[in-house]
Amino acid sequence: MIRRAIYPGSFDPITFGHIDIAERALGLFDEVVLAVARNEQKRPIFSHEERIQLVTEATRDIKGHERLKIIGFNSLLVECARRQDAIAIVRGLRAVSDFEYELQLALINRNLSPELETLFLMPKENFIYLSSSIIKELARHKADISHFVPEPVALALKNKFS
């Protein structure tokens, strides 16, 4: 049996922190599905298709990338996880402030799908403060973001805000 996890997010845009979590998950599971949520409520700057493409490009060279599957979804996460035959949901935690919200989601998902576990992973210390919102704000003000995001993402942000 293949042990598959799903790592969902809006990834608007994907950062080195997200990639670090994906690599950690690949160390724990046979396969990881990186699921890009449509979630228009967050008013993303990149379209759903652009985010899927950026995630694909950004993860192309990571260790174990051949065991990483990138998909888009527009449903309840537990429904998507079932369709992907996932046994776990991977979520990244940066700070205590993330925990309360993530705990609520994990408990709701457990109620909807008791067989699906939620696993919280923390990124490396040098990525703990990264968020997509901060990256977008830095890019909007033309700051150097090359230490925070892969090159294709930095270029896409530069184009978006030029």
94 catalytic? Reply is yes
- Whether residue 97 is predicted with pLDDT greater than 80 in this model: the reply is no
* Average pLDDT of the residues in 106-128: 94
Segment (H or E) for 118: strand 117-121
The pLDDT tens digits for 33-57 are 999 999 777 789 999 999 999 999 9
Report whether 1 contacts 137 (CB < 8 A). no
Query: Out of 42, 60, 69, 158, which one is annotated catalytic?
Result: 42
162 catalytic? Reply is no
Which residue, 83, 121, 59, 87, is CA-closest to 3?
87
18 catalytic? Reply is yes
Query: Out of 10, 48, 91, 132, which one is annotated catalytic?
Result: 132
On the question of a cis peptide bond just before residue 8, with omega within 30 degrees of 0, the verdict is no
The pLDDT tens digits for 56-79 are 999 999 998 999 999 999 999 999
- Compute CA 59 distance to the chain's CA centroid, rounded to the nearest angstrom: 11
What the chain holds in terms of domains, given with CATH numbers, is 4-160 (3.40.50.620)
Report whether 108 contacts 127 (CB < 8 A). no
